[in-house]
């Protein structure tokens, strides 16, 4: 091809507009892979200004508080799936399935419904199949434009479920899914004129660009603190591997938490339960962090206080106390001899808590540590009502239902659990950005 790239862009735009005026199931000229790729890149350039305009409009709607994109499914996936896996899914796998579902049938010979009908017609012989094929071809040609535009609209409006459905989202849905409708029209055109691969490449490259921008934007907004002062050192990193196990290690002069939200940190620092911590921004408290803090002063009793001060400073929140009535589970000792079998035999300064999908494991921890871990895992208010001793234990519980965990506590460790209601001091975490707005 002797055309310059700018001429190629103009030619593709002209052909696209002409096709939209009268969509027909007619394949274009045979092209090499590089020629198809060049045409796909031309459409990427053509769509960019329109997509950026639509993104600006949607951003404006969010600022007006007409919609909320914080719970958008793509945002949620990016928070819960490792970035490399998310990129592979969004760029290669999901576009492939969407092209197979929404675009493959746009060519007559690849339309599975038509081929099934012709298959049944074949039982009547060659003449019957040919007669059925002729009728279907006539219907297909007559209504092809309807089929094509329906495909693009269906592809677009199915993406409304990426948003949290509200009245405003439904009313604004044509605008919110306009970028996907445009994508459906472009990939549909490429699929018909240049083959399935061209449409898939367009979809994949489009996703790669916008997902890449989203990942870079998310990484730039991620909390990343690394300070070293004469009094303390602190390191806070927003965690990207949401599937790793949570690990909490508490020393007299330091804290080391892996894959934790801020609630477990606050619960330890405030010596309370996560269930006694409320917030004015649930999205902030869902973020996962790796947190390391070292108290360099000789006063180890100040470790929690110093760590809390720095956490409030870097994550931008304040704490307010209030009293309310809460349902709770109280743990007490009913079989001291059985519990004594789990006493930690080695004298260690460190205690470790590991919470996974299969078990809660306490190493060299107090019963208060155990109660705290159960509270976090089962999202309940679980209190340690045992005598306040310095005894340390090694305890492992299978994380099944709460009832089975309670049974394990009594049968294996001599600890009884009773449900009750009590008035408790609750901590409200107010993030400054929300408070000011």
Please tell me the distance from the alpha carbon of residue 405 to that of residue 112, in angstroms, as a whole number: 52
Beta strand 246-250 with 254-260: parallel, antiparallel or unpaired? Answer: antiparallel
For residue 90, what is the DSSP state?
I
Measured at the alpha carbon of residue 207, what is the angle toward residues 239 and 182, in degrees to the nearest 5?
140
* Span 349-399, pLDDT tens digits: 677 888 887 889 999 889 988 988 888 788 888 888 998 778 899 999 987
For residue 343, what is the DSSP state?
B
CB 193 within 8 A of CB 219: no
Which residue, chain included where needed, has tokens 């007006």? 64
In this prediction, residue 218 carries a pLDDT of 60
In this prediction, residue 282 carries a pLDDT of 63
Please tell me the distance from the alpha carbon of residue 205 to that of residue 211, in angstroms, as a whole number: 10
**Annotated domain spans of the chain:** 5-220, 224-436
For residue 325, what is the DSSP state?
E
Please tell me the distance from the alpha carbon of residue 249 to that of residue 353, in angstroms, as a whole number: 6
Please tell me the distance from the alpha carbon of residue 72 to that of residue 68, in angstroms, as a whole number: 8
Please give the mean pLDDT across all residues of the chain.
87
* Span 245-298, pLDDT tens digits: 778 888 899 999 988 888 888 988 998 877 788 887 666 777 788 899 999 998
pTM reported for the whole predicted model: 0.60
The pair of structure tokens assigned to 288 is 């996962």
Choice among 168-182, 317-331, 338-352 with the minimum mean pLDDT:
338-352
């Amino acid at each position: 091809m002797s055309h310059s790239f700018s001429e190629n862009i103009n030619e593709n735009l002209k052909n696209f507009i002409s096709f939209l005026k009268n969509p027909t199931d007619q394949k274009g000229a045979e092209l090499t892979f590089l020629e198809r790729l060049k045409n796909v890149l031309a459409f990427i350039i053509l769509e960019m200004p329109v997509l950026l305009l639509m993104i600006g409009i949607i951003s404006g709607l969010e600022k007006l508080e007409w919609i909320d994109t914080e719970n958008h499914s793509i945002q949620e996936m990016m928070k819960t799936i490792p970035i490399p896996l998310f990129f592979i899914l969004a760029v290669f796998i999901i576009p492939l399935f969407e092209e197979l579902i929404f675009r493959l049938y746009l060519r007559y010979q690849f339309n599975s419904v038509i081929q099934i009908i012709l298959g049944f017609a074949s039982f009547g012989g060659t003449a019957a199949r040919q007669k059925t094929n002729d009728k279907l071809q006539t219907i297909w040609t007559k209504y092809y434009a309807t089929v094509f535009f329906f495909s693009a609209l269906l592809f677009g409006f199915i993406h409304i479920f990426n948003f949290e459905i509200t009245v405003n989202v439904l009313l604004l849905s044509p605008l919110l899914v306009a970028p996907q409708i445009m994508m459906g029209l472009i990939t549909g055109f490429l699929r018909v004129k240049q083959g399935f691969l061209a449409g898939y490449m367009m979809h994949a490259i489009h996703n790669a660009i916008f997902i890449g921008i989203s990942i870079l934007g998310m990484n730039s907004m991620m909390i990343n603190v690394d300070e070293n002062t004469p009094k303390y050192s602190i390191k806070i990193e927003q965690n990207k591997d949401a599937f790793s196990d949570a690990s909490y290690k508490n020393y007299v002069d330091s804290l080391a938490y892996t894959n934790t939200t801020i609630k477990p940190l606050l619960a330890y620092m405030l010596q309370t339960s996560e269930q006694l911590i409320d917030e004015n921004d649930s999205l902030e408290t869902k973020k996962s962090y790796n947190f390391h803090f070292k108290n360099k002063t000789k006063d180890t009793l100040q470790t929690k206080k110093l760590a809390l001060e720095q956490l409030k400073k870097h994550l931008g929140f304040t704490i307010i106390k209030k009293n309310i009535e809460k349902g709770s589970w109280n743990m007490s000792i009913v079989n001291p001899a059985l519990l004594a079998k789990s006493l930690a035999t080695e004298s260690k300064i460190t205690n470790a808590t590991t919470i996974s999908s299969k078990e809660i494991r306490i190493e060299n921890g107090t019963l208060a540590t155990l109660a705290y871990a159960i509270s976090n895992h089962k999202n309940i208010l679980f209190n340690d009502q045992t005598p306040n001793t310095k005894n340390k234990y090694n305890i492992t519980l299978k994380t099944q239902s709460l009832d089975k965990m309670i049974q394990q506590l009594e049968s294996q460790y001599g600890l009884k659990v009773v449900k009750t209601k009590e008035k408790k001091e609750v901590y409200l975490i107010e993030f400054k950005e929300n408070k000011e707005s």
